[in-house]
Structure 1
């Protein structure tokens, strides 16, 4: 019998969070710095390896910016998402992709919330043509340390599952080996953002589809717990009263043999 991965994330909650992005991004000054950082990084990597895509698949870019850039460079681009909006195809990353033959695939900000990550990486590899390149970026281990500390302070001696388990560089390398990606490269870099209030961080997470989509639902924080969380958060403030939070961006890249 095949091993069935544990259900850590809820597909329903995940898709609902992704569908909300469009509404939240319509608000003034909506945060999109995580996706923008990933897109900029993909463009830099393509230039470094001198790869000019001709037929590309872009998964998870709700802004459409990467598809536009690749299209302007002459690529035929298919946009896809687990919860597609207008102009996007639907993909379920834990199943074989409904199309293939791409010389480039970018997956942005989605693979950190699949239950079968090795399987998803295999499906991406299989959708590439031989020699095709894939780049997958998502939030990795080391992300949101201040928020994690604030949630622990709020829950006291009975901590609840409120933040996602995350993949680190070492585990990412092992995953690429299991998925049989050729020329695998795994690295990470920090993205640091300053906040004056915990609520502002929470709003930025929601606006970018980075909120809690765990299958197990934690009890909501009461008013007293919220005060404790805010106090723990502000305790990390600098002399200007601002707290620096970290988003660790993990990137996996490789080719199909």
Structure 2
């Protein structure tokens, strides 16, 4: 029996369409993710003929890839027609879990704040890997781990108090150790996963909730409560947020844990790990030396 999907992708696409483009200053995480991709691309000493700008909800990612001077051609993919129409170049509408890409046809796949919405993250990585030519590169940034932990706990506290039980309000995010394993499982060479914790402080929890809605990032869990949260519940959750996490000035933190991942399609020119047993120095000897210091 097939497990039900974690996220309602149809609802996600509708919300993305309504949120495109996000009001200026709201989608600060998107710009941070794009800047991270651009920085990592700048450190790569090679050019890429064909690149995919994956699901950037607007032209900023595609423009950053071209501005790097290392990409010759970019095809943007978007999940909604509204987002695709924001581009000044040809863009395609696609499902991020059913990529319209033939095997070994692109040199670079860049993705920002999209992979967290994959119901099948292993399958998404495998599709990206297969679309890359040998020595092609995947660069992606997406939230994971402890993202929005404070908001999740505040709603749990409020619902348990008012209703005697809880329903899922904040989507689950992948753990960094799982992401590294999934990259290897998908067949990427030289996989890297880096973690950055971004803490944003708000004077009012309701402002955070409003910004998430404006980003198209409000609750889209398949098993969410079908009745919208009442004003009383939202007000109590905001109050619980302040009680649990408020500082002396009355501000509250919102944690965003961002994973920056990279992986290469295997190629014979790439560095290979040393053959097992080929080391010339004893690990026991190194540990003994370290313990003496």
**Given the two structures, how large is their TM-score scaled by the length of structure 1?**
0.91
Partner of residue 189, structure 1: 196
How far has the Cα of 1:141 moved from its partner?
1.0
Q: What are the superposed Cα offsets for residues 121-153 of structure 1, whole Å, 9 maximum, x if unpaired?
A: 111111111100001221101001211111111
**When the two structures are aligned, how many residues end up with a matched partner?**
252
2:46 is equivalent to residue 38 of structure 1: no
Structure 2: gaps spanning 5 or more residues: 267-293
Alignment RMSD, CA only?
1.9
**Whole-Å separation in 2 of the counterparts to 1:51 and 1:31:** 34
**Whole-Å separation in 1 of the counterparts to 2:14 and 2:231:** 26
2:20 match: secondary structure: helix
Partner of residue 145, structure 1: 149
Q: Whose relative contact order is higher, 1 or 2, with alpha carbons under 8 Å and at least 6 apart?
A: 1
2:137 is equivalent to residue 130 of structure 1: no
2:250 match: secondary structure: coil
Q: What are the superposed Cα offsets for residues 174-196 of structure 1, whole Å, 9 maximum, x if unpaired?
A: 11122111111112111111111
Choose the corresponding residue for 2:45, options 43, 50, 75. 50
2:60 is equivalent to residue 65 of structure 1: yes
Deviates more, 1:92-101 or 1:75-84: 92-101
**Whole-Å separation in 2 of the counterparts to 1:43 and 1:223:** 41
2:227 is equivalent to residue 210 of structure 1: no
Partner of residue 12, structure 2: 14
2:258 is equivalent to residue 249 of structure 1: yes
How far has the Cα of 1:63 moved from its partner?
3.2
Residues 34 and 64, structure 2, Cα contact 8 Å, conserved in 1: no
**Whole-Å separation in 2 of the counterparts to 1:226 and 1:92:** 32
How far has the Cα of 1:170 moved from its partner?
0.4
1:240 match: secondary structure: coil
> Which runs of at least 4 in structure 1 moved beyond 4 Å after TM superposition?
none
Partner of residue 111, structure 1: 115
2:135 match: secondary structure: strand
**Whole-Å separation in 2 of the counterparts to 1:165 and 1:230:** 20
Matches within 5 A, 1:154-173: 154-156=158-160, 157-173=164-180
